[in-house]
Structures are given as structure tokens and as C-alpha cells.
Structure 1
Amino acid sequence: MDTFDAIKSRRSIKSFQNHEMSKDEINKLMEYAILSPTSYNIQNWRFVTITKQDLKDKLCVLSYGQRQVAEASLVIVLCADLKSWEKNPERYWKNIPEEPRNFLIKGIKQAYTGNSKLEHDQAIRSCGIAAQTIMLAAQSMGYDSCPMEGFDYGKVGEFIGLPPDHIVTMMVVVGKKAKEPAPRGGQLPLSELVFEDHF
């Protein structure tokens, strides 16, 4: 599917068919997800994929009963490792020459050391970008999706065994829609949203 078509046709689906995604399809989707950009290439996102029905049912309860969690073929809990920047950062630039690699590693340490706000903000940014990549890739593969933030973050973290230096940022559910979505609620005009040079 053309990228523009994927963007235009992607909608947040709330009702899904009973459909099983293959492991190859899920792997393909996640291979696209990890091509998403991150600051300094620290690749701080972590993805927990859930397909077992009993686990999706439990997640549905933690999502205030939103049925798309139980009905979707795949639930992806997007998390972030807040300390990924200091965990052997050389590996993020292993394919470039030593001098620029050392320069980038120094920059990573200068930016993140003692800066918990940056750790958190970059986690949210990275996972947001990855979520959009997942949804557009899913659309291109013939699947539908829905981004989600309406759930109990603490309990979902416990449910998936979240490590202490990680956070849960959002979820994305993927599957085959059971019915067509309602018309778009209404897009604001560009004139209200886009400004040239300044507000």
C-alpha cells in the first residue's frame, strides 16, 4: 500500500474480528517498528507483544473493559528503558568509525547523565514515533489498529513484569476490523493549525 494511502485509511478501530496473526506477520511488523528513529539512536523502546486470549482478557480488565484489547489479534505494550543510554552505548554506533562513535557516546553521556526529565521525555517521544510506525506498517499489511492510553499503567506494568528502570508509555492493538469506523469526527483546517515562520 502506498504510504499516503496508509495514512489516509488508518483509523482507530474499536471492534475487531476473531483473527489470528501469524508469527511471521508479527515479526515483520516489529521489524518495521524498530526502524523508528530515536535520539542518539539509543533505541529506548521495548515492546511486549501479547496474543494469548486469556492474557488479552486480563489486559482488557486493566483497560477499563475496552473490548478492542480482548478482540484484537495482537496487543503491543510500548515501554521504554529509561537507562538505555548508559547500557553499553557503544553498540548503538557499532557500524561507524571509532572517532565519530566516541564523539556520539560522549554526547549521549553529557545529555543524559543526571537528567531524568530528558530520559522520561525521550521515552515518550520514542514510543510515540514507534506507535505511528506500527500503525502505518499494520495498515500497509492489511491490518487495522488503535492506539491506547486508557488503562491502568501501574497494573499493566505489574502484569507484564516491567523492570524497575522502565516505564509503560502506551498500547497499540492490531487486528482485522469487524465493521467500518464512523466518519471522521472533523478535521480542523490547515489555516488553524499550520503557521509560517511564527504564530
Structure 2
Amino acid sequence: MKVFQAIEERRAVKHYQADSEMPAEDFKKIMSAVILSPTSYNIQHWRFIRVTDKVHRDKIKEAAWGQEQVAAASELVILCADINAWNDRPERYVANSPQETQDMLLPMMEAFYSGKEQIQRDEAMRSCGIAAQTMMLAAKGLGYDSCPMVGFDREELARLIRLPQGYVIAMMIAIGKAEKAAYPRGGQLPLEEVLCENHF
């Protein structure tokens, strides 16, 4: 599927064929695309929880206020972020760069994030957002539908997935074959209302 077609056809699908399974090679292909998503300083904050256990899915469904797609979709991926990834062996993120680039970027990274908790969290969430869009478009490109989700009890979900200290949950994404089409688009704002030039 062409990229613009995938963008146009990607919708938040709520109802999935519960008996549809995703071949392992398709899941690997999607995730291999996801980890190519850009991140600031190549930090790669994202951590992904693939929920394959049916009992665990049912518990997560309860934490998501009974939303059917949590249990019915072929795949459920929880996108989390390590807020402190910037300070976790940062030399890993520039290991393939020339030495002069490493010598420049590592101090820059330290200066950019150190002591700035809001920036640390914002950057981690931005990274997850970019990865999420890559995931949904890659899935659509392979003929799957998806649904990004933020409607859940965050504390309960954190408990269920044993979220480590210093991590944050960005969203969940259900992926599978649609049982029913998405509702019509609610109404896109016109481009001229959201696009400015040079300033507001």
C-alpha cells in the first residue's frame, strides 16, 4: 500500500475479528519499522509491551473500562517510555557516529536534559507518539487496522504490566482485522484554520 493511501485509510477501528491471528512475520515487520522512528539524540525512549496472554488481556480490558478491542484485536501493544533513557549509558545512542560527533553530542545531551524533568517527560512522550504513528501506518500498509487508546486506568495498567520506576505509559494500540468499519470521520478542521505561516 502506498504511504498516502495508508494515511488516508488509517482509522481508529473499535471492533475486530476475534479469531484473526497475525502471522509472526507481519508483527516483526511492523515492529522493525517502528524502531526506525526518529527520536531526539537517537535516545529511543520507547519500550513496548506486547500482550499475548489472554487472561492478562482480559485484566487489561477491565482496566480499560471494558473496551472490546483490548481483548478482540490480534495484537495489543502498550507503548511506554523510559523518561531517564537520556542518562542510561548514552554512548549507546551515538556508538556508530564518528568520534567527533560523539564528542559533540554527549555533552549536548547532558546539558539539554539534566535537571529538566518536564523536558525529559515531554521528549519521551513525543518519541512514543512518533513510534505510535509509525506502528499504525505500518500495520495499515500490511492490511491491518488499529486503534490508539488512552482510555484506561493508568495506575491499574501500570500495576498489571509492572511498570518500572521512572517509566510512563503513553498509550495502547490494538491491531487486527476489522469486524466493523470505523465510524465516519468526525469532522476535519480546514487546513487554513490550522496552518499558519511564519507566526500566528
Instruction: Establish whether residue 93 from structure 1 lines up as the match of residue 94 from structure 2.
Output: yes
| Coordinate RMSD, CA, aligned | 1.0
Cα deviation, 1:147-174, whole Å, max 9, x if unaligned, reads: 0000011111111111112111111110
Structure 1 segments, 4+ long, off by >2 Å, are none
User: 1:25 Cα shift?
Assistant: 1.7
User: 1:97 Cα shift?
Assistant: 1.2
User: 1:106 Cα shift?
Assistant: 0.7
Instruction: Establish whether residue 192 from structure 1 lines up as the match of residue 198 from structure 2.
Output: no
Aligned to 1:175: 176
Aligned to 1:6: 6
Aligned to 2:138: 137
- Counterpart of 1:5 in structure 2: which amino acid? Q
Aligned to 2:17: 17
Aligned to 2:154: 153
The DSSP-based 3-state class of the residue aligned with 1:76 is strand
The DSSP-based 3-state class of the residue aligned with 1:196 is coil
User: 1:24 Cα shift?
Assistant: 2.1
Instruction: Establish whether residue 27 from structure 1 lines up as the match of residue 46 from structure 2.
Output: no
Distance 1:31 1:162 in 2: 23
Please give the TM-score of this superposition, normalised by the length of structure 2: 0.96
Aligned to 1:66: 67
Instruction: Establish whether residue 115 from structure 1 lines up as the match of residue 119 from structure 2.
Output: no
Distance 2:58 2:95 in 1: 41
How many residues are matched?
Answer: 199
User: 1:112 Cα shift?
Assistant: 1.0
After alignment, is 183-192 or 131-140 more displaced?
183-192
Distance 1:135 1:141 in 2: 10
User: 1:23 Cα shift?
Assistant: 2.2
- Among all aligned residue pairs of Structure 1 and Structure 2, give the percentage whose two residues are the same amino acid: 48
Give 5+ residue unaligned stretches, structure 1: none
Please give the TM-score of this superposition, normalised by the length of structure 1: 0.97
Give 5+ residue unaligned stretches, structure 2: none
